[in-house]
Amino acid sequence: MHLDLGATAKALAADRAARRIHAALGCGVLVNLGGDLSAQGPTPAGGWQVALGDDHADARSDTTVALSRSLGLASSGTTRRRWRRGGRTVHHIVDPRTGDVAQTRWRTVTVAAKSTVDANTASTAAIVLGAEAPAWLANRRLPARLVGVGGDVVTTTGWPAT
């Protein structure tokens, strides 16, 4: 068995770095480690402007969100790290219930939470949960933006309308 804690470690590092920088400098700070963001302290007027997209290798943004308080923001997706195996396309997110790749209802899920670790965990869980994800996120009061494989966009309560 192999256990990859890379995503969780990256999110934790973003949280720790943002807290330490804020404590040392006393100013607002936004730390971005490969798309896992942690905001601490006061924000600039209009908030930290963060562009979101489905493909981290593509500079085009689908939307922009303003982070106006201390929180974590993370995205999980299935558009990258894909390959063919046994005649089918698979990706890197595994459903622990089946041991197989998660069914792909969502191509990207972005979640805001109290910490980047929480946001990262919830965004990956949402990919695994598929169609159940919006209700699961809403029950946990986690603002989220889910982009379906066909491009449809679903948001949960608390996600900005624009």
CATH of the domain at 63: 3.10.520.10
pLDDT of residue 88: 65
Residue 115 lies in a domain: yes
Residue 150 to residue 71: CA distance in whole angstroms: 29
Instruction: Name which of 40-54, 91-105, 122-136 the model is least confident about.
Output: 91-105
Domain span at residue 60 reads 6-155
pLDDT of residue 140: 96
pLDDT of residue 75: 87
**Of the candidates 97, 91, 66, 95, the residue with the CA atom closest to the CA atom of residue 79:** 91
Residue 1 lies in a domain: no
Domain count, the chain: 1
pLDDT of residue 65: 87
**Is pLDDT above 90 for 40?**
yes
Residue 161 lies in a domain: no
Do residues 134 and 146 lie in contact, with contact meaning Cβ atoms separated by under 8 Å? Answer: yes
Residue of higher predicted confidence among 38 and 4: 38
Residue 123 lies in a domain: yes
pLDDT of residue 137: 97
Residue 162 lies in a domain: no
Residue 109 to residue 148: CA distance in whole angstroms: 9
Residue 132 lies in a domain: yes
Residue 160 lies in a domain: no
- pTM for the predicted model, two decimal places: 0.84
pLDDT of residue 54: 67
* CA-CA-CA-CA dihedral for 78, 84, 88, 92, to nearest 10: -30
Residue 12 lies in a domain: yes
**Is pLDDT above 60 for 90?**
no
Instruction: Name which of 12-26, 57-71, 138-152 the model is least confident about.
Output: 57-71
